[in-house]
Each structure stands twice: as structure tokens, then as C-alpha cells.
Amino acid sequence: MKTIELKPHLQLDMALGQALQKRRSNRDCQTEQLNEEALSTLLWACAGITDEDGRRTVPSTLDLRAVTPYVLRADGAWRYDAAKNCLEQTTDKDVREVSTAYQFDYVKTAPVTIVFVADKERSKTARPTGVYVDAGTMGQSCYLAAAAMGLAGCIRASFDHEELRKAMNLAEHLEPIVLFTVGYPK
């Protein structure tokens, strides 16, 4: 399994009010790969560790931390390890096209899709909707970080969960539930 050590995240200096004002769904992306700092910042924004006890940048139902971001790129699918600030490859196949039911051109053009994956074993003590709330807060954090960095992005949910799980080479107890596709704007 390949691992990519990520660079530290960028300092986001845009005021929250300004980021909220600039936040938009934008599907008009360049094909250029995101630089490592931008990717690291998006991942930190949605699941980064902010203190010694492992707390994240986003809330987590019952503090279960049952949703993990994965990254889909042309070079495969990658699991984000927040503690090590690295990506661990789950497949070397480009599975971005499997991540949509309708927007094939968009997901093939945009360089990155962040997939929020729920661990059904870890979350079984919580209400079933908890992981969706967690993924929603993670997606909003991606939106705000993308706005602060001037990136184009869009949250998505129209895809075949089981087909994407298989394509990403994930265990059966892991379920992709929400996606955030992002790139540099045209």
C-alpha cells in the first residue's frame, strides 16, 4: 500500500463572514491537480486534529469519529489519516467516474473528490442519521476552506454507494455517504 505524507495545512486567514459570503457550489473546474498544501488544508478543515485528545475541526456524533475522508484522484483512492497527516492508498485505479450517477464530465474534469465514508461498525451505538450529520458538517468545512483558498467545489450525493465502496476497495462495514468535488476554478 502506497502512502503520501502531506505537507502542513495552510493558514486560512479569510474572516468567517467573508468565507460564508463567498461560499458557492461551483462545478466549473480546471483539470490541474490541486497542490499538496490545498489538499492538506481541505482535509484538515474537514477532519483535522486540533488538540492532544484527538478532537477534530468538526463535531462528531457521540465523539465516535465514525466518518473518515477519502480522496479520489486520477492515481486512485486514498484514506486520510489525520493523526499522521498522510494519505493511504486503497486502490490505484481512477474510480472518480463511479462517484456519480449524473455528472460524469464534472467528476472526470475536477482533480479531486473527497468522499466521506461512514464506519457502520463504529457508529452502531449512535442514531443512523448521525453519520450523515457528521458528513454534512465536514462538507461545509470543505466549502468554507475552498472559499478561503479561491477553489471551486460542490457537495454531491447522487451516486451508487455500493458500487463506489467496491471500486474504492473498502470493507463491507464502510459506506461512502457524501462527496465533495473540488479543483481550481476555470
pLDDT at position 121 is: 84
Q: What is the average pLDDT value for the chain, to the nearest integer?
A: 93
Question: Vertex 184, ends 180 and 185: CA angle to 5°?
Answer: 100
Question: Which position has the grid cell 464506519?
Answer: 119
The label of the residue with cell 469519529 reads 65
127 Cβ partners below 8 Å, 6+ apart? 61
Identify the band that residue 20 occupies on the pLDDT scale cut at 50, 70 and 90.
confident
Indicate the number of domains in the chain: 1
Cross-strand pairs, 114 = 71, 180
The string of pLDDT tens digits covering residues 34-92 is: 999 999 999 999 999 998 888 899 988 877 888 999 999 999 999 999 999 999 999 99
Domain span holding position 79: 3-183
3 closest CA partner among 59, 111, 75, 99: 75
pLDDT category at 127 given cuts 50, 70, 90 is confident
DSSP assignment letter at 113? E
Name the pTM for this structure.
0.94
Q: Strands 86-91 and 174-183: what pairing?
A: unpaired
For residue 124, count CB atoms less than 10 angstroms from its CB and return exposed for 0-12, middle for 13-18, buried for 19 or more: exposed
pLDDT given at position 12: 93
Q: Which residue has the cell 485505479?
A: 93
Report, in angstroms and rounded to the nearest whole number, the Rg of the chain calculated over CA atoms: 15
177: domain CATH number? 3.40.109.10
- Per the CB < 8 A criterion, the answer to whether 63 and 137 are in contact is no
Q: How does pLDDT run across 162-172, given as a tens digit for each residue?
A: 999 999 999 99
Is pLDDT at 126 greater than 90 in this prediction? no
